[in-house]
Structure 1
């Protein structure tokens, strides 16, 4: 009988931990999602909340865009293509112009990853490690995607219609990679808790 009571108590505690995790995850994700939307509006001329000071001094959206555009340009140039860039675009001479807009940055995926890591019941050191791994993975995959688009659209301009779904294909690839990384991390953290 005492085993049944202990099991029921353990199940109740597990359910409470799961509900707290889900509530934290949704709340943190919502806050980060809306903060990113606000910052995009606050740093985009003509945006609803545009502010000169924020645009000039706190514009992490453009910083992230630069972190994607500059290395992607280097990679495209490494394939021998003459390439230029500005604040929002990569221009391959006699090839595509790649616009790197807000949706290309991966901020919503990163917001989910931050929310997930903060909400998940694990040690902070482990949370920081998984955040670094997953965000770096999203970033590297994004640079590869942008570079590959520039190279492929320049090399095969007649095939441009086949690249219309690159956002969807990229999203699926990122979700699969992130799923496996998070799955192994959760499994590892669950094993550590089970040993204790």
Structure 2
């Protein structure tokens, strides 16, 4: 087996990095803009609204429901009475929280999915990270909505201090995701290095 020179190894590494960055950019644009486009198709009054898709394939509303209903359960668990419709969470004698598209965390999910799919590793590890990461974002989003309902219900005068909860949530989630990705990348890079080392020794 011929040895790979340092220069060749560096060139291969550079190609992998470039491929990763290009794939990350393309996938993120496809996922993020695709979700925005689908939201327009499924929202009455949207530029590309399609009644058939809205009635039969409205995953945007499905995600809203999947966030609103558990958030209502959590709010009630803390002793507050809350009701909801398709896009609002209302705590009686407390706040009215409107769950818009920007509340769903699809932008963060799009980045996570693009990064994990672009990163060169096994499909098993890719799928595992996708499931754990998206489930984590979803759980944190439920906690955010429920937390706002409970906080504003208990301290109604504090509402004005939380106008930037979307930005705070995004920063918090991105920090958590970056930590998760760092651990995941380190684990997979170490495993790949060990595999290559074992393969190299097995051929000598």
TM-score in terms of structure 2 length: 0.92
Contact 2:72/2:146, CA 8 A, preserved across alignment: yes
Which stretch of structure 1 is more off in the superposition, 92-101 or 160-169? 160-169
- Shift in Å at residue 114 of structure 1? 1.1
State yes or no: 1:186 paired with 2:185: yes
Q: What residue ranges of structure 1 are gaps of 5+ in the alignment?
A: none
Per-residue CA deviation, residues 76-135 of structure 1 (Å, 9 max, x unaligned), is 011111110000000111110000100000111111111111110000000000011111
Shift >3 Å, 4+ stretches: none
- Aligned pairs (5 A) from 1:1-196: 6-196=5-195
**Structure 1 residues 135-157: Cα deviation after superposition (integer angstroms, max 9, x where no partner):** 11101111111000000000001
Per-residue deviation, 1:163? 1.4
Counterpart of 2:201?
Answer: none
**For each residue in 1:18-47, what CA deviation from the matched residue of structure 2 results, as whole angstroms up to 9, or x when unmatched?**
100111111111111121011100000010
SS of residue paired to 2:189: helix
Separation (CA, whole Å) in 2 of partners of 1:95 and 1:182: 38
What CA distance in whole angstroms lies between the structure 2 residues aligned with 1:34 and 1:166? 23
Aligned partner of residue 5 in structure 2, secondary structure: helix
What is the aligned length?
194
Moved more, 80-89 or 165-174: 165-174
RMSD: 1.2
TM-score (norm 1): 0.96
Report the secondary structure of 1:26's partner residue: helix
Between the aligned partners of 2:162 and 2:25, the Cα distance in structure 1 is: 33
Instruction: Give the Cα–Cα distance (whole angstroms) in 2 for the partners of residues 118 and 176 of structure 1.
Output: 19
1:52: Cα distance to partner? 0.7
Separation in 2 of the partners of 1:90 and 1:169? 20
Residues in 2 aligned to 1:161 and 1:28: alpha-carbon distance in whole angstroms: 37
User: Residue 87 of structure 1 aligns to a residue in which SS?
Assistant: coil
